[in-house]
Amino acid sequence: MSAVDLLFAQLRKSGRKALMPFITAGDPDLAYTADLLREVAARGAALCEVGVPYSDPIADGPVIQESYTRALNRKVTSTDVLQCLSEVAPKLAVPLVTMVSYAIVFRRGLEQFVAHARRAGVAGLIVPDLPVEESGPLAAICRRSDVSLTHLITPTTSWDRARRIAEASTGFIYYVSVTGITGERTELPPELADNVARLREHTPLPVCIGFGISRAEHVRRLAPAADGLIVGSAIVRRMAEAASGDRTRVLRQIGEFVGELVAALDAAGDGKGDARTAAGRSAQ
């Protein structure tokens, strides 16, 4: 079992849900990435998703695309990202997963990339541009390495295909909330909770919702339907201010925002979340 499997088993046993912040690695630099990971973990995040900068993201909106561009302009590579994670992961009490293009994995070599990621403390991979039909070789390597391989399901995915994707996934399933790209939204589809509830009836894997979640009210609404919630653009937008502003202030603001979302998630659950948040802080 990967650390992601163990985490969700523990959360389910205690009736809790996971908040998963997304952070672009290397924006504004990798030292700040490490600071952010420590901050959001201390604020109660259950696990963290780290975006590996890529020049041609297929599902990311302008906020995350621009953050990737800033990191690439600083010559941040996947090797640099994994080196950063290898230094910070042992100090965190939460698992790390990476959002990474299959082009990067393939170019490095599947065995080599997974081995390097595992040594760096990465517990799971999310590879959004890898079709499930072509995922077998990488999935086999990940299973041997106890690294989760998460696939995405969208609102336009047929139920037959969704079941195939669920069967091929490990760790958790990433359910895309809206048709389109990442980005903050004021409203989410009214049928979203029902779609996720239906999916959960067909798989034992945890289902985490991402894309568009940016407010505490979103968290409160979706918490009963999902096992976890992923928040990206709302955090990455705040990260952009660190390049030219007060880095410490921005770090604190992001931490407070994550803490607000964790509190909303806990309030929508069974009330055990305050202990989790305190435990996360004491672990740092």
Tell me which residues are annotated as active site.
Answer: 49, 60
DSSP per-residue codes, 138-167 = HHHHHHHTT-EEE-EE-TTS-HHHHHHHHH
Residues in CB range of 245: below 8 A, 6 or more apart: none
Work out the angle at residue 212's Cα, subtended by the Cα atoms of residues 53 and 208, and round it to the nearest 5 degrees: 80
Asked whether the beta carbons of 261 and 235 are under 8 A apart, the reply is: no
Distance of CA 161 to the CA centre of its chain: 22
Alpha carbon distances (Å) from 237 to 30, 138, 224, 232: 17, 32, 27, 9
Residue 163 burial (C-beta neighbours within 10 Å; 0-12, 13-18, 19+): middle
Round to whole Å and give the CA distance between 196 and 155.
10
Encoded amino acid at 265, one letter: L
Name, in order, each residue with C-beta under 8 angstroms of 28's C-beta and a sequence gap of 6 or more. Answer: 70, 74, 239, 242, 243, 247
Distance CA 228, CA 208 (A): 4
Question: Please, which residues have CB within 8 angstroms of residue 31's CB and are 6 or more apart in sequence?
Answer: none
